[in-house]
């Protein structure tokens, strides 16, 4: 994983794991909502950070990547509002979907961004020599 993105990504994965354990143990909705709050805050920061990097390096896929971030946040917020209204969408299936979209984004869009950043690095090293 690229060092510019690694820490945030690892934290997101850790939070999904915590949320997963919380759901499996049948902990309270309150507890699950707290993890989800933390997850949304971290995702917002992570996406902003990534978008700054994409802008700084003039990443060609920035528009599509940003759209994906917006879609992911919408899904998270809608889940949050269901939870806070007392609906309980959390269960194994829901957690699996949450994990799938996180991993899907990391493996696809974020992975392409990382390859681009590594490529820029390699190119600038070549120029320096
Ligand atoms: Fe990311
Ligand atoms: Fe991303």
Domain boundaries, the chain: 3-123
CA-nearest of 63, 69, 68, 90 to 79 is: 90
Give the Å distance between the CA of 18 and the centre of ligand 1: 19
At the fourth CATH level, the homologous superfamily of domain 3-123 is Hemerythrin-like (1.20.120.50)
Residue 107 Cα to ligand 1 midpoint, Å, equals: 9
**pLDDT tens digits for the chain (129 residues)?**
788 888 888 999 999 998 888 887 877 778 888 888 999 999 999 999 999 999 999 999 999 999 999 999 998 898 888 888 877 777 777 788 888 988 999 999 999 999 999 998 888 777 655
pTM for the model stands at 0.86
pLDDT score, position 92:
77
Q: How far is CA 62 from CA 43, 98, 116, 123, in A?
A: 17, 23, 12, 20
Ligand 1 midpoint to CA 46 (Å)? 6
pLDDT at 108: 94
């Amino acid at each position: 994983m690229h060092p510019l993105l690694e820490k945030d990504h690892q934290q997101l994965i850790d939070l999904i794991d915590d949320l997963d354990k919380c759901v499996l143990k049948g902990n309270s909705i309150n507890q699950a909502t707290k993890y989800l709050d933390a997850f949304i805050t971290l995702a917002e920061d992570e996406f902003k950070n990534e978008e700054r990097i994409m802008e700084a390096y003039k990443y060609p896929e920035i528009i599509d990547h940003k759209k994906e971030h917006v879609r992911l946040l919408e899904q998270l917020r809608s889940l949050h509002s269901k939870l806070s209204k007392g609906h309980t969408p959390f269960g194994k299936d829901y957690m699996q979907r949450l994990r799938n979209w996180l991993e899907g984004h990391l493996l696809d869009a974020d992975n392409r961004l990382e390859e681009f950043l590594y490529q820029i690095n390699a190119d600038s090293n070549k120029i320096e020599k």
